[in-house]
Chain A
């Protein structure tokens, strides 16, 4: 009964919780991304983005999302300013 009330208020069934947790865990296990590699990935994303816009380099976040048939890499970065020139020369 208590359980039914909890469910009513939006608590997920534990089987569903387990499945969602496993989706994330297995993805991380399979990707085998060490913190070093993740940091390198963030740095590279920032280098590429900074060619086109001024970004807040403390703000970058990289997450993985599991859809039904795909795994997505989602990166959020705060943009401070977009350069007028579309593609500045490589080493400016």
Chain B
């Protein structure tokens, strides 16, 4: 049976695409699925450092496509999970080193071997974006509760639909509950009503994300991290599990108590 190909995209840069890919991929691999993540950001590769695999790169995506190596030679196995792989982007090439047909062919091949093929899309809506979405059957759009990110997400959703990619879900990243409560940040429901795309999950703003990327270990591997739990739930929903959308907007009782006492 063919696996699922999913592109993670956003339009705007810096909203957390790569972090999302790393965490969703790792969470699905933890569930024993065979997962490969493709860094489609040619020229600005980052998935390798976020996963802590930067020292192991020999071949890359462009090498596979140009036939300079076999697929297996460019796939780097994760340090902890033996069923998780990344295909790094080329760092010294340009976006047009690859075309959408080649990406589509590669994704189709990979989907025969893997349960999940997750594509990390570059920012922007040019060639790199067209390459990244070419081989995907579903899309996850990442946004933050800021006007610029939301506007770009809306544009990207329009472009995905124009490319007949209609299986689209939204992740709201870096939501700050305290600010939402004060009325100084758009809430998840505000964002959903603006973008009109079903929600996959909400990731709270958290210092843990910075710390985990510093270490090159995805958050979902660490215990007791709220953002990590949010990513785990997102991965489970992506996997078709029915998990209610309670995270993100609701705070835990303990945190509310703490705030009540301190304020």
- What is the interface of chain A, defined by CB distance below 8 A to chain B? 13-16, 18-19, 21-23, 25-26, 29-30
Contact = CB atoms under 8 A, between A and B. Distances in A.
Contacts of A30: 154, 158
Interface string B175-213: 000011011111100100011000000000000000000
Interface of B: 147, 150-151, 154-155, 158, 179-180, 182-187, 190, 194-195
Given A29-B151, A29-B155, A30-B158, A23 B194 contact: yes
A23 B191 CA distance: 10
B194 A22 contact: yes
Given A14-B183, A19-B190, A29 B147 contact: no
A13 B180 CA distance: 10
Contact of B151 (A14, A19, A25): A25
Contacts of B184: 13-15
6 pairs of A and B residues whose beta carbons are closest in the complex: A13-B183, A19-B190, A14-B184, A15-B183, A26-B154, A15-B185
B109 to A, nearest CB: 36
B186 A15 contact: yes
Contact of B194 (A13, A14, A15, A19): A19
A18 B147 contact: yes
A38 B182 CA distance: 39
B180 A15 contact: yes
B187 A15 contact: yes
Contacts of B158: 29-30
Nearest to B182: A13
Q: For the complex, would chain B's binding face be called helix, strand, loop or mixed by DSSP majority?
A: helix
Contacts, number: 42
A29 B186 contact: no
A29 B150 CA distance: 12
A26 B195 CA distance: 9
Contacts of B179: 15
A18 B194 CA distance: 11
A16 B184 CA distance: 8
Given A25-B151, A29-B155, A30-B154, A19 B182 contact: no
Nearest to B183: A13
A22 B150 contact: yes
Contacts of B154: 26, 29-30
Nearest to B185: A15
B143 to A, nearest CB: 11
A22 B155 contact: no
14 contacts: A13-B182, A13-B183, A15-B190, A18-B147, A18-B185, A18-B190, A19-B186, A21-B147, A22-B147, A22-B150, A22-B151, A22-B186, A25-B147, A29-B154
Contacts of B155: 29
B194 to A, nearest CB: 5
B194 A26 contact: yes
A13 to B, nearest CB: 3
B170 to A, nearest CB: 14
A22 B191 CA distance: 9
A54 B150 CA distance: 44
A19 B145 CA distance: 10
Nearest to A3: B182
Nearest to B150: A22
A83 B190 CA distance: 47
Nearest to B179: A15
